[in-house]
A = this chain, B = another copy of it.
Amino acid sequence: MNTSVFETYESNVRSYCRSFPTTFVKAKGALMFDDQGKEYVDFFAGAGALNYGHNPDYMVERMIAYLQNDGIMHSMDMYTPVKEEFLNYFIQNILEPRGLNYKIQFAGPTGTNAVESAIKLARINKGRQNIFAFMGAFHGMTMGSLALTTDRCSRDGAGQILPNVTHIPAPGMFPGLDTIAYMETLLTDDHSGVEKPAAVILETVQADGGINVFPADWLVQLRDLCTRHDILLIVDDIQVGNGRTGTFFSFERAGIVPDMVTISKSIGGCGMPLSMVLFKPELDKWEPGQHTGTFRGNQLSLIAGKAGLEKMVNDNVLGEVKRKEAIVEAFLRDEIAPLDSRICYRGIGLMWGLDMSKFDRDMTKPLIAACFKNGMICERVGRDNAVLKLMPPLVIPDDQLLRGLNILKKSLQEIL
């Protein structure tokens, strides 16, 4: 295909197409196909939106059936059977088994919209304007979320000040610094100069920040800190929820209960736009219509999303994640790390990072290009984009998982 229409008319802001210079026509499961018939193993998974892989039949069939039957598609927050079924399934199979009691808000169907809703609701509840976020965080691109987001390129794109957020060093970022004690001091020291926040927001595993897995005991301490100081704890599970880390919610491994949770990406099933904010019932201070959005509650997204949840529950997807986690970790340890002592890796579930920052040149750009050439798709994240992010669909078959890993190995050997 001639891509000149994109290059001529589409904004410079486009990015993924630059790493993957081809035209994609089909996709199924963990595989993508371009217009030359070339096949790619997908280790990108729609930045987390495709945990169930591309176009799973059990989703697509229901979407088609609904479309064929003229089911109402666009209904904002009106009542529909589709939304009722989604809610009931989510409550009975996801929330209740985990002992979670949340009210649910369907925000505009993007992750950033869920984050905006959450921080607005937090500020309304506490009557405080400040929010704590962590260095390395990514929470979205609209102005409220962008103030939380840390990468410089995105922030420079704001063109204005981004007030009311204090960025806290992530755990482990400064070896000698106990970040919980640091926050405790900010809150109790009458000369810290830092305003008490309405909420602390975090990804329990920073994805775009470079695959930084926050320790479970640190999460417990953070939950305790928030409780003691009457600060809301918001977990942004947009990318790392939906089973990505081996539990449905990423915070389950720490046994904590956040006051609010934001969900999006794979909650819409096969890349269909959907986002939700979960919060403790007593926080539901919204006036009717106080946060709206035209594309809330898209019915196809709810249909695909519910099908995904059923898959999750019925086919032991979470157990499979744990099993495959071991495969990936072993491969990285035994096949990749030995290739060069400067390679580091870290991760959890099916979310791994290959940290190439110890090299004195940009390794990830050529590595992505080599992977692409060899038939695997992945992206780079983190400081100086030095971390290769490996994030296949959760349902990837073992052979495809290994194919992707071997392409990684081969590609790495080529550029070393």
Interface residues, chain A, with chain B CB atoms under 8 Å away: 1, 3, 5-6, 9-18, 20-28, 32-33, 35, 46-50, 54-55, 60, 63-64, 67-81, 83-84, 87-88, 91, 103-106, 108-113, 116, 119-124, 127, 129, 133, 135-137, 141-145, 147-165, 167, 169, 173-178, 181-182, 185, 189-195, 198, 209-210, 264-265, 268, 270-273, 277, 279, 284-295, 298, 300, 382-384
Contact = CB atoms under 8 A, between A and B. Distances in A.
Nearest to A151: B191
A289 B21 CA distance: 15
A277 B9 CA distance: 12
Contacts of A32: 72
A155 B79 CA distance: 26
21 contacts: A1-B84, A10-B104, A10-B106, A16-B76, A23-B84, A24-B79, A27-B72, A28-B70, A50-B74, A54-B73, A55-B67, A55-B72, A64-B64, A67-B67, A137-B191, A137-B193, A142-B144, A155-B195, A174-B181, A176-B176, A268-B295
B292 A265 contact: no
Given A48-B294, A84-B6, A153 B190 contact: yes
A69 B194 contact: no
A393 B164 CA distance: 42
A49 B293 CA distance: 11
Contact of A143 (B91, B142, B268, B382): B142
A163 B163 contact: yes
B292 A123 contact: no
A68 B77 contact: no
B24 A72 contact: yes
A175 to B, nearest CB: 8
B273 A10 contact: no
B11 A103 contact: yes
Given A17-B79, A24-B72, A383-B191, A109 B295 contact: yes
Contact of A167 (B16, B48, B112, B192): B192
Given A74-B271, A111-B294, A284-B11, A136 B191 contact: yes
Contact of A73 (B68, B271, B292): B271
A265 B88 CA distance: 29
A22 B79 contact: yes
